[in-house]
C-alpha cells in the first residue's frame, strides 16, 4: 500500500472543496462536433489572397531548404491574435537509428487471420494479441537512415522573431506523410467505426491480410501525426498557443493524476475527402481527420486536421495543409492554422510561393 504523505503536505478538505466545486467535470462531447467543425474548414482555411496559388508538391523526398510557412490565428470571441510558424528542413544526413513505433490500442485489438485466405476459407485466430511493450518494438536498424533536421520558427503577428526549436524526423516518414493513412482508414470506415475511442475495450477483430496491412498503415499515420504535435509542444510559443485554447482539466483530475497527462486521439477511420472546389486554387487531394487532445482523459480541444500530399516541399510538415481547432464547450475559442507559403530547397531552385 502506498504510504500517505506527511500530514503537513496533505491538502485540507475544507480549503479544496470550494475549488473542486468550481472546477467541475468535463462535459460530454457533442455528437455532431466533427460536422460542425468541418463546416468551417473552407471558410477558415481560405487564403487571404484568392489569387495566390501554392506551388503543388512534387514526388521528391524533402531536401535541405524545403520550407512551409503557416499563419496561426487565435480567436476568442471578438479578440484575435496572430502568429507565423515556419517549418524548414535545415539539412538531411544519414545516421544510424533504432527503428520502432508505439502500437496504438486499436491496432492491438485486430488480428490477421491465419492461415491467409486462399479460396478454401479463413481460419479464425485462436487468441487475442498481447499488449506490446515499447522496448520490444525498438530494434537496431543495422543501417544508416536519412534523417531531416527540422527548424521550427515562430514569429509574432508583426513579423518579430520569437524563437526557434529543433527536431529531427526520418525523411521516409516525411515523404510518406499522412495521405496513405487517410485513404486506408476511409476504406475501412464502417469496420473500424468507434474502435479508436474504444481502445482496449473494443472486442478483438479478425481480418484478412489486406485489411490488416491497411490498419497498420493507419497506425503508422497516427504515430507520425503524434510526433508532429509533440514537436510543436517542444516549442515555447506554440505550446503557449495550445495553452490559450485548451480546456484545462479540473482540479480534481489534476489531484488524482498528480499532474496533467497529454494524449491524442487521432481517428483516420473517420477521415473525409474534401471537395477541391471549396479551396480555390488548390488542385491537390485534401482530407480532413478528426483529432481530440485529451488532458487526463478529458477533452482539451477538438480539431480537424487537413491533410494533403507530402512531396517536396510540403513534406517538411508531413503534408499537413492546415488545422481548425476549438475549445470543447466554447466554439468562440478556436485556433486556425493555415498554410500560406511554401518554398523548395536551393537544390530544386525554388522560391517561396504563396500569400
Is the pLDDT reported for residue 221 higher than 90? yes
Is pTM, for the whole model, over 0.85?
no
Spatial contact of 84 and 70, defined as CB atoms under 8 Å apart:
yes
Task: Share the mean pLDDT of the chain.
Answer: 79
Task: Say if CB 321 and CB 339 are below 8 A apart.
Answer: yes
Contacts of 53 (CB under 8 A, 6+ apart): 281, 282, 353
Segment 227-239, tens digit of pLDDT: 888 887 777 777 7
Cβ-Cβ contacts under 8 Å for 30 (sequence gap 6 or more)? 36
Distance CA 295, CA 233 (A): 14
Mean pLDDT, range 130-159, rounded to an integer: 69
pLDDT digits (tens, 9 = 90+) for 292-335: 988 877 888 899 999 999 989 999 999 999 999 988 888 888 88
- Give the distance, in angstroms, between the CA of residue 166 and the centroid of all CA atoms in the same chain: 18
Q: Which residues are bridge partners to 273 per DSSP?
A: 287
Backbone phi and psi for residue 100, each to the nearest 5 degrees, phi listed first: 165, 170
Contacts of 45 (CB under 8 A, 6+ apart): 279, 306, 321, 322, 324, 336, 338
**What pLDDT, on the 0 to 100 scale, is given for residue 98?**
65
Bridge partners of residue 96, in order along the sequence = 144
- pLDDT, one tens digit per residue, over 38-62 is 888 888 888 777 666 777 788 888 9
Q: Facing residues of 218 across strands?
A: none
Q: Length of the chain in residues, anyone?
A: 355
C-alpha cell at 288: 480532413
End-to-end CA distance of the chain: 61
Supply the pLDDT for residue 160.
93
Res 127: pLDDT: 35
pLDDT digits (tens, 9 = 90+) for 161-218: 988 888 888 999 999 999 999 999 999 999 999 999 899 999 999 999 999 999 999 9
Cis peptide before 115 (omega within 30 of 0): yes
Which are the contacts of 221, defined by CB distance < 8 A and separation ≥ 6? 178, 180, 181, 182, 184, 185, 266, 268
Directed axis angle between helix 209-233 and helix 179-187, to 10°? 140
- More confidently predicted of 29 and 228: 228
Residue 4 has pLDDT above 90, yes or no: no
Q: In the structure, what pLDDT confidence band is assigned to residue 261 with cuts at 50, 70 and 90?
A: confident
- Distance, in Å, from the CA atom of 355 to the CA atom of 345, rounded to the nearest integer, reads 18
Can you tell me whether residue 192 is helix, strand or coil?
coil
Query: In sequence order, what DSSP letters do the residues of 337-355 get, joined into one string?
Result: EEEEEEE--GGGT---EE-
Amino acid at each position: 500500500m502506498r504510504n500517505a504523505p506527511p500530514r503537513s503536505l496533505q491538502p485540507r478538505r475544507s480549503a479544496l472543496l470550494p475549488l473542486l466545486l468550481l472546477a467541475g467535470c468535463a462535459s460530454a462531447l457533442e455528437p455532431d462536433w466533427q460536422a460542425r467543425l468541418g463546416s468551417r474548414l473552407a471558410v477558415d482555411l481560405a487564403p487571404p489572397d484568392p489569387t495566390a496559388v501554392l506551388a503543388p508538391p512534387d514526388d521528391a523526398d524533402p531536401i535541405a531548404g524545403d520550407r512551409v510557412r503557416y499563419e496561426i490565428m487565435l480567436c476568442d470571441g471578438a479578440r484575435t491574435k496572430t502568429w507565423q510558424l515556419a517549418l524548414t528542413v535545415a539539412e538531411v544526413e544519414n545516421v544510424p537509428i533504432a527503428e520502432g513505433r508505439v502500437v496504438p490500442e486499436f491496432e492491438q485489438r485486430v488480428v490477421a487471420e491465419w492461415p491467409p485466405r486462399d479460396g478454401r476459407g479463413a481460419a479464425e485466430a485462436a487468441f487475442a494479441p498481447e499488449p506490446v511493450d515499447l522496448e520490444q518494438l525498438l530494434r537496431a536498424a543495422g543501417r544508416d537512415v536519412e534523417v531531416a533536421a527540422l527548424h521550427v520558427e515562430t514569429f509574432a503577428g508583426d513579423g518579430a522573431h520569437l524563437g526557434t526549436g529543433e527536431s529531427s524526423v526520418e525523411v521516409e516518414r516525411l515523404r510518406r506523410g499522412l495521405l496513405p493513412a487517410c485513404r486506408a482508414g476511409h476504406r475501412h470506415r464502417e469496420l473500424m467505426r468507434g474502435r479508436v475511442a474504444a481502445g482496449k475495450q473494443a472486442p478483438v477483430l479478425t481480418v484478412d491480410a489486406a485489411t490488416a496491412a491497411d490498419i497498420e498503415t493507419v497506425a503508422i499515420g497516427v504515430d507520425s501525426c503524434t510526433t508532429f504535435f509533440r514537436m510543436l509542444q517542444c516549442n515555447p510559443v506554440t505550446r503557449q498557443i495550445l495553452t490559450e485554447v485548451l480546456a484545462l482539466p479540473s482540479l480534481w483530475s489534476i489531484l488524482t493524476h498528480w499532474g496533467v497527462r497529454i494524449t491524442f486521439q487521432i481517428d483516420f477511420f473517420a477521415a473525409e475527402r474534401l471537395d477541391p472546389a471549396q479551396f480555390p486554387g488548390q488542385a491537390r487531394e485534401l482530407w480532413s481527420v478528426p483529432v481530440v487532445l485529451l488532458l487526463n482523459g478529458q477533452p482539451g480541444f477538438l480539431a480537424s486536421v487537413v491533410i494533403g500530399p507530402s512531396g517536396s516541399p510540403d513534406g517538411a510538415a508531413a503534408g499537413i495543409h492546415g488545422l481548425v481547432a476549438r475549445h470543447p464547450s466554447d466554439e468562440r475559442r478556436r485556433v486556425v492554422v493555415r498554410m500560406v507559403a511554401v518554398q523548395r530547397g536551393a537544390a530544386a531552385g525554388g522560391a517561396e510561393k504563396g500569400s
